[in-house]
Amino acid sequence: MGDAATYTDARVKLHQAEYTSDLTDTDDRLRKRKGSAKLFESQQSKQLESSENSDSEEEFPPTPREKLLGLAAKQMISPTAQRVASSTIQQDASPTAQSLATPGCEAMFSKLLTILEEVKETQRVHSKILNALLKKQEAPVMEVPEGVAFPLQTQADVEALDEKLKDRSLMSTVAAVVADVGGTSVDDATRRMMKFLLSNELALDYNLFGRHGKKKFKDLRLFSVVYEALKKNTLTAQVNQQEAERALSKWFTGARDRGGRRASRQPMQT
């Protein structure tokens, strides 16, 4: 809309441009009176200083750039606001606003909106995790039901407990107690749970499928207790029965090496 010789002149013209687009007279004067540019600058500086020192400061209307930034903020609220802001920018008569409404700006706003959505989703996930942790802390500590003692020491203890586990409510309670033992993986949780359920000596009498003259653990209701406990554990909740059987087979295979038996089976060195 016009040129200015100095920054001060540009500030004056900026204010004038908000009320009129005819700046040709000022431009002609500046071109004809190059020698008096410094005087003009001095006069305008005094006017600005006097206006700044006056008691009642004049509040200028928002510049087109400020309007544009306001519209940009509205764009972050909703898709409807984005469409309204885009339409308003296009209808703005200011060349400055039109020049800022570029595809680059729109891409920047879209990226900001995407980041905000990702932050919102992350907060939602963290909120779920926190609520789960709080519920776990508030849950009562599970206690072994009366009349049941772990670890089981003899086959008679196993048979007596297996009979009691016909009661479905008792089985659920025992499964919850065993699940509270925890574990970070299927193998780790299985080791911890079986150590809680059976003594080392008793484990030697069993394996999962009853091979080699041993008793079949899978026929016991304790197998269902362990599987249900793995399902209740948050870190192993996705386990299936095949994975549970594999972990139990590994545990029974290693039973003969527990309690110092591995060292006793090794030949003595001479």
How do residues 253-269 score in pLDDT, each as one tens digit? 988 888 665 555 555 55
| Mean model confidence pLDDT for the chain | 76
- Residues 221-250 have a mean pLDDT of 95
The pLDDT score that the predictor gives to residue 30 is 47
**pTM of structure:** 0.48
Higher-pLDDT residue of 256, 140: 256
170 pLDDT exceeds 60?
yes
- Residues 187-215 have a mean pLDDT of 94
pLDDT bin (cut points 50, 70, 90) of residue 161 is very high
d(CA 18, CA 93): 11
Could you tell me what percent of the chain has a pLDDT over 90? Answer: 39
The pLDDT score that the predictor gives to residue 202 is 94
- Sequence length of the chain is 270
Of 43-47, 68-72, 239-243, give the lowest mean pLDDT range.
68-72
pLDDT bin (cut points 50, 70, 90) of residue 44 is low
Give DSSP secondary structure letters for 115-184.
HHHHHHHHHHHHHHHHHHHHHHHHSPPP-PPTT--SSB-SHHHHHHHHHHTTSHHHHHHHHHHHHTT--S
The pLDDT score that the predictor gives to residue 265 is 53
Of 95-99, 144-148, 201-205, 216-220, give the lowest mean pLDDT range.
95-99
d(CA 48, CA 51): 5
Buried b (16+ CB within 10 A) or exposed e, 177-212: bbbbbebeebbebbbbbbbbbbbeebbbebbbeeee
Name every residue whose Cβ is closer than 8 Å to that of residue 220 and which is 6 or more positions away in sequence: 158, 162
87 pLDDT exceeds 60?
no
75 pLDDT exceeds 80?
no
The pLDDT score that the predictor gives to residue 24 is 59
Higher-pLDDT residue of 95, 126: 126
The pLDDT score that the predictor gives to residue 102 is 67
d(CA 33, CA 30): 5
d(CA 203, CA 254): 10
What are phi and psi for residue 206, nearest 5 degrees? Answer: -130, 155
The pLDDT score that the predictor gives to residue 63 is 47
Instruction: Quick: pLDDT tens for 234-243.
Output: 889 999 999 9
137 pLDDT exceeds 90?
no
Which of 205, 206, 178 minimizes the C-alpha distance to 192?
Answer: 178
The pLDDT score that the predictor gives to residue 111 is 87
